[in-house]
Structure 1
């Protein structure tokens, strides 16, 4: 089974693209959702996060996301340390999930992939792109946040021109109709790549 990474900067629309793949029958693992769950349920990871960020990282209802965000998003080094704890646990969980699927290929949707070297763990990687101004407007509307807040989150992610050379497929997500067409094109290619050895590719 081929394993495919699906990523894109905040506001690029990677979740919309992931849904298009689901509609084509492809299983999608949401790394961000899984990470949030594992940060509350994996006891070893919970203890490691407490050591890194302090006991206030958790409250009566579990992970104190506001506290964690305040601690790490202004501190790239601390964010990198947190990612170094969480990402291996997510990768292990993804591998177990992928092994249980029955499909020509599976996708893992992740906000940060190239930045952490996570793309090396996949057979192919899809990068969803959109102009930065478009992405900023989308997130401001979606999350009710300010331009400054969105730009602060963008600063923790690589620019697209740094990620494009590392991607096997680049999907421009400005036009909804074109996006659907390009998803189907990539889907057909991945089906070919997952076929029997020696099968000719278009």
Structure 2
């Protein structure tokens, strides 16, 4: 089975592209959602997060996202250490999920992809910074333009994404479906 990753910066449209693949009956593993679920439910991961960040990381058993965000986004070392706990748990969960699938290929949607480890091909969903800001503000009405720009600046660069990508989907227009169908045809013919 071919493992295909989909990535792109905030507001690029990677979730929309993933939904198109789901309409084509291709299973999609939403890594960010699964990470949130594991953080909330995986007992051993919870213990490690508490060791790293303190008891305040969970309140009454619930993940204290605001506390954790405040701690890690002002300390890149701490963020890296938190990611080194969460990412392996997600990778193992993904591998177990893949074993239950029988389609010619599967999709793993993830915002952060530093390498192609664990996947065979990578699709990068591209959109300009301005489009990404516009989409994110429309979707996340609690964010400010400045906050979205700060997130964009903290994410991988266009060159980094393109260097890893096997396929690029241009999401500047409404022509997503033909681009996804072209890639889908390639994967089902491998």
Asked if TM exceeds 0.5, the reply is yes
Structure 1 regions of 5+ residues with no counterpart? 194-202
1:76–1:156 contact (8 Å) kept in structure 2: no
Partner of 2:146: 148
Aligned partners of 1:155 and 1:57: how far apart in 2? 26
Within a 5 Å distance, the mapping from 1:33-112 to structure 2 comes to 33-60=33-60, 62-112=62-112
Query: Counterpart of 1:183?
Result: 180
Task: Give the superposition deviation at 1:43.
Answer: 1.1
Q: What secondary structure, in the 3-state scheme, does the structure 2 residue paired with 1:155 have? A: helix
Aligned residues: 189
Q: State the match for 1:17 in structure 2.
A: 17
SS of alignment partner, residue 154 of structure 2: coil
TM-score where L is the length of structure 1: 0.90
TM-aligned CA deviation for residue 61 of structure 1: 5.1
Cα deviations by residue, 1:25-62 (Å, 9 ceiling, x for unpaired): 10001101100010011111101111111111101251
Residue 15 of structure 1 aligns to a residue in which SS? helix
Given that 1:73 and 1:153 are in contact with CA atoms closer than 8 Å, whether structure 2 keeps it comes out as no
| 1:168 aligns with one of 162, 166, 169 | 166
Structure 2 segments unaligned to the other structure (5+ residues): none
CA distance in 2 between counterparts of 1:155 and 1:76 reads 14
Aligned to 2:136: 139
Aligned-partner Cα distance in 1 for 2:62–2:111 = 22
Contact 1:12 1:135 in 2 (8 A): yes
Q: CA deviation at 1:12?
A: 0.3
